[in-house]
Amino acid sequence: MPTQPRLILASASPRRRELLAGLGVTFDVITADVTEHEDPSTDPRVMVAHNAALKADWVAARYPEAFVLGADTTVFIDGHALNKPRDAAEARAMLRRLSGRVHTVFTGIALRRVASALSIDRGEASEVTFRVLDEATIETYLSRVHTLDKAGGYAIQEHPELIVAGRTGSLTNIVGLPVKTTKQILTQCGLLKSSS
């Protein structure tokens, strides 16, 4: 029996871990020791693609036989990326900025395997419309959701009734890993059986 090729998720994100596990694929988690590019004025598509590749390349260089999946997500509004807030004050400011408006969530995905010179990059975008948030709602949200490890200072899967009015595009993309696109890539590489 040929052994199943190893898949590694190059991300510390518990949300990505849950979404990838939902595809029924076996994988390990190894966090890349890299400094992500987070200049808010950078084109968000370029930034998330760069960071996803950076993570995947770092781990793939150390595990050349493995398939390595990297991903990066950011929130984009007013020509600027809103990355992970540094503190509660910045999370509060981000929620005020998003209040009553539409923003875009971009995710970059990179799959690498050094042994077979495999390099696949994909990008996805979704739009989220926020409710108009008063200060009391913002404080309630921040008291219920740990926002400091989340781009834009919010998590759409946690208490969306407080902040979200609607969305278009992939929900899992907004969470941090577009599952449909990821499934297509893994199927293409033989890591998942085609469900057709």
Catalytic positions, please? 72
For 76, the token pair is 């984009």
8 Å CB contact between 156 and 75: no
8 Å CB contact between 156 and 175: yes
Provide the b/e sequence for 89-112 (b: ≥16 CB within 10 Å). ebbbebbebbeeeebbbbbbbbbb
31-35 contacts at long range (C-beta below 8 A, 24 or more positions apart) = 32/56, 32/58, 32/59, 32/70, 33/58, 34/58
For 192, the token pair is 């998942």
Which residues, 6 or more positions from 180, have their beta carbon under 8 angstroms from its beta carbon?
Answer: 170, 172
